Amino acid sequence: MTTALITGSTAGIGAAFARRLAADGHDLVLVARNTARLQEQATELHDRHGIEAEVLTADLSEDDGISSVEKRLGDSRRPVDLLVNNAGFGNKGRFLEVSMADELRMLKVHCEAVLRLTAAGTAPMRDRGRGGVVNVASVGAFVPRGTYGASKAWVVQFTQGAARDLAGTGVRLMALCPGFVRTEFHQRAGMGTENVPGWMWLDADKVVSAALADLARGRTLSVPDPRYKALMGVVKLAPRGLLGGVGSRAGRKYAPK
């Protein structure tokens, strides 16, 4: 039986990955900051699907938290076959309205943790000749809007570059770029979403189904909805200055994911 490790597993897209992978018969390593929520999630998934669900409490904004997950990924006795780097958050406010501590914390979670965990996970996968990594980014990666968009743009570029470097090894890497998903993400960040049209909202379970299908196809980038695929086509053609203005206004209220 294969094992998947999911960061940020207790809510939103991470929880949807956990539900889907457990239903498909994968054992899980569930990673988040809240031990009580992790234990509750692990028990529910074990009882419902009969899989083994291991709990690993870790704060990926801290070196010790990242190191503990790196150690688990490197355990040759309990190999991880699929890594889902999902942990992330948003900050409410424009540049200079957000504290530097919070900006640096975001880079730690969105960039450094993704880099280190991807390296820790893919090294043993390459040795075994199989494995996969899904790094959760955002359509915000394609719109200029501060640290959040920049960090997600880094995730996309890093993932696609690493996928190219590991081509032919049996290890697949993919950046997942959802739009607005109905999760706790915006509430936790204190972001209002009242101005987001209903058609822009996605279901987390459907996002995960599309992502896993794209990973199986060998894609290195997944935009999991025809509406957002079309929207990203428009974004590619729009003047950069116009996108910057839209991103700046949106950054005060909400961010995709």
pLDDT tens column, 183-194: 555 455 444 555
- Angle, vertex CA 192, rays to CA 185 and CA 59, nearest 5: 25
Say whether pLDDT at 157 is over 90. Answer: yes
Cα–Cα distance, 109 to 87 (Å, whole number): 7
Q: What's residue 230's pLDDT?
A: 76
Active site residue 228: no
Say whether pLDDT at 243 is over 70. Answer: no
Task: Look up the CATH number of domain 3-251.
Answer: 3.40.50.720
Q: What's residue 143's pLDDT?
A: 85
Cα–Cα distance, 7 to 9 (Å, whole number): 5
Q: Which of 87-101, 188-202, 240-254 has the lowest mean pLDDT?
A: 240-254
Q: Which of left, alpha, beta for 25 (phi over 0: left; psi -120 to 50: alpha)?
A: left
* Strand order across the 171-176 sheet: 53-57, 27-32, 3-7, 82-85, 131-136, 171-176, 221-222
Task: State the first-to-last Cα distance of the chain, in angstroms, to the nearest integer.
Answer: 31
182 falls in which pLDDT band (50, 70, 90)?
A: low
Q: Which of 4-13, 110-119, 139-148, 242-251 has the lowest mean pLDDT?
A: 242-251
Considering 142, 148, 158, 228, which one is annotated as catalytic?
Answer: 148
Greater pLDDT, 189 or 230: 230
Q: What's residue 89's pLDDT?
A: 93
**Mean pLDDT of all residues in 210-214:** 97
Q: What's residue 253's pLDDT?
A: 36
